[in-house]
Amino acid sequence: MELKRVVVTGLGAITPIGNSMPEFWENLVNGVSGAGPITYFDASLFKTQFACEVKGFDVTKYIDRKEARKMDLYTQYAVAVSKDAIEDSGLDTEKEDLNRIGVIFGAGIGGIHTFEEEVGYYFTHKDQGPRFNPFFIPKMISDIAAGQISIMYGFHGPNYATCSACATSTNAIADAYNLIRLGKANAIIAGGSEAAISEGGVGGFNAMHAISTRNDSAETASRPFSASRDGFVMGEGGGCLVLEELEHAKARGAQIYAEIGGVGMSADAYHVTASHPEGLGAKLVMLNALEDAELKPEDVDYINVHGTSTPVGDISEAKAIIDVFGQHAYKLNISSTKSMTGHLLGAAGAVEAIACILAIKNSIVPPTINHEEGDNDENIDYDLNFTFNKAQKREVNVALSNTFGFGGHNACVILKKYAE
């Protein structure tokens, strides 16, 4: 069976540094930090009092307020970015076979805001008996975003959610890619969203010592590969890609941003939260992606790393890159866009895949910001080009995006410049 080629024809993103593609890309290239004080709740008693929140999001630009009230914030982000991506792709749902269009859209955590509100209300008023909003469960569950997108457009193709912590939306892209190249769909709306900046989210990650507590310098707290890093910075938002079978896209005259070259998946099988110290799972997932794409390590120009700014994770990923790419590792551009967006958890993979696609399109590699001169970790090889602090112009023909999740879930997608 001849596998079909899969291309990207539409993009949508809502992030802490921009709610449209032009704004997101401009701020990414200019090294703008999305971090600031938490506004969703009073964080004064928390160890961490800042995050990368989305600014100025108006859900009524996408759906009416009555429908929005039936959705958790993470689902609102999902329907917004999917609508932007579908409009960007030019898909005409009046002309398409909707049985051949699917949705694979995930969340690492899901409706935590809804869960806290409903359960909090119950425990405050439990003497009155159990009282719950009838939309409690449909708002909370992590598959509902995929369902809402399909309902909004009438897409009858494959429809489900992926959930692999911070690898979630890369897994969504991988599944969409595999289904399309096997001929199971003409197009799939793929991505992820997250809205976990809440008392439970921040408090839980604080208890794990996973997030930065640099309250006196929030804007520079996400500093991947710097010796002074002390944990990731929570982010929120969503990212969506329209993946399409190449001949289907060409037949309707669609714009083509990039081609999906290949995907990889692996497990650390090591620890529930920590990555393998030698980067064994990270090494395997990149090798699997290269094999799937039928590419050599020397073919890759840019890696958008997982790079969360955690003490152990950054070291293990840097080691894995050297193990996989050898001497070519020193010719790559490497950057962590989480230094600007924060860590979008289940949405990270989709947003970072979009960053790779825009790097290919514009021949610019976005930076890893917040690195200070001399702020070097003795366990990291700084002969690697981490694209510190300033974007670099470079032709990017092949880009690789890494995402690694709690539980040891690793996923990688390779994006290529499209050529006939």
Q: In this model, does residue 313 exceed pLDDT 90?
A: yes
Least confident of 123-137, 152-166, 241-255, 298-312: 123-137
Specify the length of the chain in residues.
Answer: 420
Residue 127 is predicted with a pLDDT of: 78
Residue 113 is predicted with a pLDDT of: 96
* Distance (Å, whole) CA 166 – CA 232: 12
Tell me the mean pLDDT in the region 229-255: 98
Per-residue tokens: 68: 């929005």
Residue 131 is predicted with a pLDDT of: 84
For the sheet containing 6-14, what is the strand order? 159-160, 101-106, 187-194, 237-245, 6-14, 258-267, 409-416, 398-405, 302-304, 333-335
Query: What pLDDT digit, counting tens, does each position of 19-51 carry?
Result: 999 999 999 999 999 999 999 999 999 999 999
Q: In this model, does residue 300 exceed pLDDT 90?
A: yes
Residue 156 is predicted with a pLDDT of: 98
Least confident of 40-54, 131-145, 231-245: 131-145
Residue 301 is predicted with a pLDDT of: 98
CA distances from 407 to 108, 142, 267 (A): 12, 17, 8
Q: In this model, does residue 119 exceed pLDDT 90?
A: no
* Distance (Å, whole) CA 327 – CA 340: 29
Query: What pLDDT digit, counting tens, does each position of 209-231 carry?
Result: 999 999 999 999 999 999 999 99
User: What count of Cα atoms within 13 Å lies in the side-chain half-sphere of residue 235?
Assistant: 35
Residue 401 is predicted with a pLDDT of: 98
Strands 302-304 and 36-37: unpaired
Residue 366 is predicted with a pLDDT of: 98
Per-residue tokens: 411: 């996923």
Strands 101-106 and 187-194: parallel
Query: What pLDDT digit, counting tens, does each position of 45-93 carry?
Result: 999 999 999 999 999 999 999 999 999 999 999 999 999 999 999 999 9
DSSP β-bridge partners for residue 388? 368
Given 113, 248, 276, 306, which residue is catalytic? 306
| Confidence label for 329 from pLDDT (cuts 50, 70 and 90) | very high
Least confident of 245-259, 272-286, 377-391: 272-286
Residue 129 is predicted with a pLDDT of: 80
CA distances from 277 to 22, 196, 347 (A): 38, 27, 25
Residue 126 is predicted with a pLDDT of: 76
Residue 284 is predicted with a pLDDT of: 98
* Distance (Å, whole) CA 329 – CA 155: 42
Is 328 an annotated catalytic residue? no
**Fold match between domain 6-251 and domain 264-416:** yes
Per-residue tokens: 162: 């992926």
86: alpha, beta or left, given left = phi > 0 and alpha = psi -120 to 50? alpha
Tell me phi and psi for residue 118, to 5 degrees. -70, -45
The percent of the chain in helix, strand and coil, each rounded to the nearest 5, is 40, 20, 40
CATH hierarchy code of domain 264-416: 3.40.47.10
Residue 204 is predicted with a pLDDT of: 97
Query: What pLDDT digit, counting tens, does each position of 361-372 carry?
Result: 999 999 999 999
Query: What pLDDT digit, counting tens, does each position of 92-103 carry?
Result: 999 999 999 999
User: What count of Cα atoms within 13 Å lies in the side-chain half-sphere of residue 238?
Assistant: 34
The amino acid occupying position 112 is I
| Confidence label for 375 from pLDDT (cuts 50, 70 and 90) | very high
Residue 411 is predicted with a pLDDT of: 98
* Distance (Å, whole) CA 186 – CA 4: 10
* Distance (Å, whole) CA 370 – CA 387: 11
Domain 6-251 superfamily per CATH: Thiolase/Chalcone synthase (3.40.47.10)
Contact 110, 200 (CB under 8 A): no
Residue 182 is predicted with a pLDDT of: 98
Q: In this model, does residue 121 exceed pLDDT 80?
A: no
Q: In this model, does residue 13 exceed pLDDT 80?
A: yes
- Mean of pLDDT over the chain: 97
Per-residue tokens: 319: 């080691």
Residue 125 is predicted with a pLDDT of: 80
Give, rounded to a whole angstrom, the gap between the first and last alpha carbons of the chain. Answer: 21
User: What count of Cα atoms within 13 Å lies in the side-chain half-sphere of residue 233?
Assistant: 31
Is 113 an annotated catalytic residue? no
Q: In this model, does residue 151 exceed pLDDT 90?
A: yes
Is 271 an annotated catalytic residue? no
* Distance (Å, whole) CA 334 – CA 319: 13
Residue 420 is predicted with a pLDDT of: 83
> 3-class DSSP state for residue 334?
strand
DSSP β-bridge partners for residue 187? 101, 244
Residue 137 is predicted with a pLDDT of: 95
Tell me the mean pLDDT in the region 265-280: 93
Given 113, 276, 343, 409, which residue is catalytic? 343
Percent of the chain with pLDDT over 90: 94
User: What count of Cα atoms within 13 Å lies in the side-chain half-sphere of residue 326?
Assistant: 5
Query: Which residue ranges make up each domain of the chain?
Result: 6-251, 264-416
Given 163, 166, 240, 412, which residue is catalytic? 166
Q: In this model, does residue 122 exceed pLDDT 80?
A: no
